[in-house]
Amino acid sequence: MFRTAVVRRPARSLAAGITSSPHLGAPDYDRALGQHDAYIRALEACGVSVTVLEALEEFPDSCFVEDTAVCLRDRAVLSNPGAPSRTGEVEEMERALRSFFPSDRIYRIREPGTLEGGDVLRTDTEFFVGLSGRTNKEGAIQLLTLLRDWGIPGQAVPVPGILHLKTGMSLVHGGRLLVTEEFADYPPFRAFEKILVPTEEAYAANCLWVNGNVIVPAGYPGVRRAVEGLGCRVLEVDTSEFRKIDGGLTCLSLLF
C-alpha cells in the first residue's frame, strides 16, 4: 500500500527536455500544468497523500522525479542519472526526501555507477533493474547489492533499444505485467502473466498501479480495455505533453 507520492511541478523550461520524438512537437507548458494537476488528483483518488515540490527551471526534465530515487517504505536510494543534464536534480530530491526518511536511511548510487528510477521495476516478488543508455552495470550492481543486504531479491536485465525498462513495461493489477512486443517472450519475465500492448499503443505500456487502481494514459483504448478487463478501477490521465519529451505516468512520481 502506498501512502505517499512526491511530484515536482513542470518547469517553464519543459520544452528543452530530452526527447527522442521531436516530430511530436514541443510540449505546451500550460497544458502540461493542467495535465499535472489531473495527475495529482488521480493519485489522491488512489488514496495517497501528494507532496508537490516547486518547479526547477534549470532542469527541464525535473518533473520526471521517478528517475532521481528509488524509494521503499522506510528508506530511499538516490540515483545517479546517466543523462548529464539531469544529475543536479538528485541533490534537489535529497533535500525533499529528508522530510520523509532519516539521513542514515538515505543511500546513493555513486560514480562510476549510473542509474535512473525509470529502469527500476518493482514486482510483488523481486526488483528488476534495466541496463539501458541511462543505467549501467555498475549502477545496477550497487542497487542490487543494497537490496540484497535488505533481503530483497533482484536482477539486472538488458533493455532493448528503448529509453528505460519501464518505457516498455509496467506492473498492473494482480502482479501482471503490461508489456510491449519486445518483452512478450523475454526470458527474465517468463514467470509473469503478461498483457501484450498493441504496437500502435506502445507508449501506454507505461501505466501506474497505485493501491489496487491503475492509472492509464488517455488516448489508448486497447490498453484501457485490457486493464479494465482485470477488474480493477481504471483512471485516465492525459499525458500528451509529457510524452513529447519521453515522459510517462510512472516518471511523474515517487511512490512509497
Could you tell me the CA-to-CA distances from 249 to 50, 82, 152, 199 in Å, in that order?
A: 15, 20, 25, 18
Under the criterion CB under 6 A, does residue 26 sit at the interface with ligand GLY?
A: no
Out of 43, 61, 115, 140, the only residue in the binding site for ligand GLY (CB under 6 A) is 61
Binding piece for ligand GLY, criterion CB under 6 A, among 50-58, 69-77, 153-161, 245-253: 245-253
Taking phi over 0 as left and psi of -120 to 50 as alpha, with beta for the rest, 200 belongs to: alpha
Q: Are 79 and 70 in contact (CB under 8 A)?
A: yes
User: What is the pairing mode between strands 208-210 and 194-196?
Assistant: unpaired
Q: Are 177 and 192 in contact (CB under 8 A)?
A: yes
Binding piece for ligand GLY, criterion CB under 6 A, among 103-111, 124-132, 197-205, 240-248: 240-248
Instruction: Indicate the SS3 state at residue 186.
Output: coil
Task: Tell me which of 46, 63, 207, 251 is the catalytic residue.
Answer: 251
Report the number of secondary-structure helices (H) and strands (E) in the chain. 5, 15
* Interacting residues of 210 by C-beta distance below 8 A, sequence separation 6+: 2, 43, 46, 47, 48, 255
* Interacting residues of 73 by C-beta distance below 8 A, sequence separation 6+: 256
- Taking the complex as a whole, the smallest distance from the CB of residue 71 to ligand GLY amounts, in Å, to 18
Q: Is 36 a catalytic residue?
A: no
Q: Is the dihedral of CA 134, 129, 96, 203 positive or negative?
A: positive
Under the criterion CB under 6 A, does residue 128 sit at the interface with ligand GLY?
A: no
Of 119 and 147, CB closest to ligand GLY:
119
Of 189 and 242, CB closest to ligand GLY:
242
Under the criterion CB under 6 A, does residue 217 sit at the interface with ligand GLY?
A: no
Task: Tell me which of 46, 63, 164, 207 is the catalytic residue.
Answer: 164
- Taking the complex as a whole, the smallest distance from the CB of residue 228 to ligand GLY amounts, in Å, to 29
Instruction: Indicate the SS3 state at residue 255.
Output: strand
Q: Is 23 a catalytic residue?
A: no
Out of 15, 16, 18, 141, the only residue in the binding site for ligand GLY (CB under 6 A) is 18
Of 109 and 195, CB closest to ligand GLY:
109
Of 241 and 246, CB closest to ligand GLY:
246
Under the criterion CB under 6 A, does residue 209 sit at the interface with ligand GLY?
A: no
What is the number of other CB atoms lying within 10 angstroms of the CB of residue 166? 27
Q: What is the CA radius of gyration of the chain?
A: 17
For ligand GLY (CB under 6 A), the number of binding residues is 8
Under the criterion CB under 6 A, does residue 83 sit at the interface with ligand GLY?
A: yes
Out of 17, 113, 130, 248, the only residue in the binding site for ligand GLY (CB under 6 A) is 17
- Taking the complex as a whole, the smallest distance from the CB of residue 29 to ligand GLY amounts, in Å, to 15
Residues with catalytic roles: 164, 251
- Chain residues binding ligand GLY by CB under 6 A are 17-18, 61, 64, 83, 245-247
